[in-house]
Amino acid sequence: MKKLKTWLGAFLMALTLIPASTWAAGYTQTKYPIVLVHGLFGFDKIGPVDYFYGLSSALRSDGAKVFTTQVSAANSTEVRGEQLLTQVKQILAATGAAKVNLIGHSHGGPTIRYVASVRPDLVASVTSIGGVNKGSAVADVILGVAPPGSLPNSVLVSVTNGLGSIINFLSGGTGLRQDSLAAVKSLSTAGSLSFNRSHPEGVPTSACGEGAYVVRGVSYFSWSGAKPYTNVFDVVDPALALTSLAFAGAKSDGLVSSCSSHLGRVIRDNYAMNHLDEVNQTIGLVNLFETNPVTLYRQHANRLRNLGM
């Protein structure tokens, strides 16, 4: 009898343990590979692999196949998009997968949208994080095309200085590249709206609403932060506080307004995160009082998995 009880106890314990570990093991196991696409400047100093800091491994650990891509750090959306398309085809050939799940940050948002727009048959989902989908007021300021009189001169100077500090930090002090102008034009409001006319999939038709959830078989998602300064130990935060002035009080993550980040299904547009927190930078220095970015990426992989993607 005692033996039976021991056996029953062990059996029940095994029952509670096995399903839990099985579930955890497949939590991020998407049907299609996840492809991560970096933003402007690609953090030359940090490198393409660590741009999404600690996120590839966090996704892989519970089953996802994850690929990190590298496109031009600073170039037009179309040039970056063509580069990405080539890499997507290589990933599909290497894995034998029929499609990919694209996840892009910042300029990576429009870049993945380009691929889904020209080759929707190769893409299961597009996820834009802090994506510059309707342009950035910071780019407008840099190009000198901010609406006249909309911002005092001192603010324009602060925004420019702030962006200069961010670029210097991310690119290891190499400054603006020759093709930076093409990038900034793509990221301006006018450049983004022009891109959207050719590639409208998932873009909200209203100023700050949601876009279509599924277009030509591709599912569209987005999220973003809305808090420029989040961690006193992160050296980039003061610069993001300066660039956030370009938005004249509108919600932003320091470089992109919440409304501009909207694409397809908006998961949330006001996490207490700044533009770099969205990719768990600088090296994991994020807001301690907000959901960790690693958790958001894992939850999203699980979301894609549950949708059969």
Chain centroid to CA 245: 22
Residues 6+ apart with CB under 8 A from 72: 79, 80, 83, 179
Q: Respond yes or no: is residue 180 known to be catalytic.
A: no
Tokens coding 130: 């802090």
Residue 27: CA atoms inside 13 Å, Cβ hemisphere, count?
17
Q: Applying CB under 5 A, does 285 fall inside the site for Ca ion?
A: yes
* Residue nearest Ca ion, Cβ-based: 234
Q: Nearer Cβ to Ca ion, position 117 or 244? A: 244
Smallest gap from residue 284 Cβ to Ca ion (A) = 8
Q: Which residue lies nearer to Ca ion by CB, 131 or 228?
A: 228
Q: Does 269 bind Ca ion (CB under 5 A)?
A: no
Q: Helix H segments across the chain?
A: 2-25, 55-60, 77-95, 108-118, 137-143, 153-170, 180-187, 189-198, 237-243, 258-261, 293-306
Residues 200-259 that bind Ca ion (CB under 5 A): 234
Catalytic: 253?
Answer: yes
Nearer to Ca ion, 101 or 258 (CB): 258
Least separation in angstroms between residue 289's CB and Ca ion is: 13
Query: Which region, judged by CB under 5 A, interacts with Ca ion, from 125-133, 199-207, 283-291, 300-308?
Result: 283-291
Binding Ca ion (rule: CB under 5 A), the pick from 187, 255, 276, 309 is: 276
Q: Give the nearest distance from C-beta 88 to Ca ion in angstroms.
A: 29
Catalytic entry in 158, 275, 277, 300? 275
Alpha-carbon distance 282 to 265, whole Å? 27
Annotation marks residue 300 as catalytic: no
Q: Whole-number minimum distance, CB 166 to Ca ion, in Å?
A: 12
Torsion over CA: 290, 291, 296, 298 (sign): positive
Q: Which helix (H) or strand (E) holds 219?
A: strand 218-225
Q: How far is CA 23 from CA 26, 28, 116, in A?
A: 6, 10, 31
- Kindly name the residue from 106, 158, 244, 261 that is annotated as catalytic: 106
- Residues forming contacts to Ca ion in the complex (CB under 5 A) are 234, 276-277, 285-286
Q: Could you give the residue numbers annotated as active site?
A: 106, 253, 275
